[in-house]
Copies of this chain bind each other. A is one copy, B any other.
């Protein structure tokens, strides 16, 4: 069933209108009167609707009932990834959204090669948020994950440490497994931290450990920077009973 995110929808609305990009998308799908569609507020509520009118650039809908979205995971997982080449971070935004991340955050660290300046960052964030919205729509999410960028490694650590299960994945860690960290749960929130192309420096890992974060391996194979967060997120969702 077609699914649209609409920002301005209230629980009391009986009628809705799809405009702009949503209407263009509806046109591609050739929606007709009487067809059922789902409208989502992007905050966890779905509205089951029926198309009542299709005219130039506007699709009118009648709301039939509302429900909490059934596709949101129980665990709130934030994916923190060191600034990497744009295409890699964009790949992670799309896939992490599909896999159920609640938030996707870029942060600077010592071996980052591609740290955008303030001006280009604002533009990038806008673009990144659109990628998340589009992936949320396609994968049937009930919420659009927030995409953010933090100003420093320290700010990232501080924020991540507030999660019930904060984990920094380090390629030189051999002994401590993600399983051992997860088995201390159940947890309601997790922070999954992975590095940029060049990985983390030992000093950064020590900083994280000093703050009480779990330092874990993702196995004995070296994962690319865009593979590691998605591997960790898949494993977390599996362990949390999502599939």
Interface residues of A (CB under 8 A from B): 70-71, 73, 95, 98-100, 138-141, 177-179, 216-224, 227, 230-232, 234-235, 237-239, 241-243
Verify A139–B100 contact, CB threshold 8 A: no
A–B complex contacts, Cβ < 8 Å, 16 sampled? A73-B219, A95-B227, A98-B223, A98-B224, A99-B223, A99-B231, A139-B222, A139-B224, A140-B220, A219-B237, A220-B242, A231-B234, A234-B235, A234-B238, A235-B238, A238-B239
Q: Which residue of B lies closest to A70 (CB)?
A: B220
Verify A138–B224 contact, CB threshold 8 A: yes
Chain B: minimal CB distance from A184 (Å): 15
Verify A221–B99 contact, CB threshold 8 A: yes
Q: Which residues of B contact A235 (CB under 8 A)?
A: 234-235, 237-238, 243
Q: Which residues of B contact A178 (CB under 8 A)?
A: 238, 243
Q: Determine which of B71, B227, B242 lies in contact with A99 in the assembled complex, contact meaning CB atoms within 8 Å.
A: B227
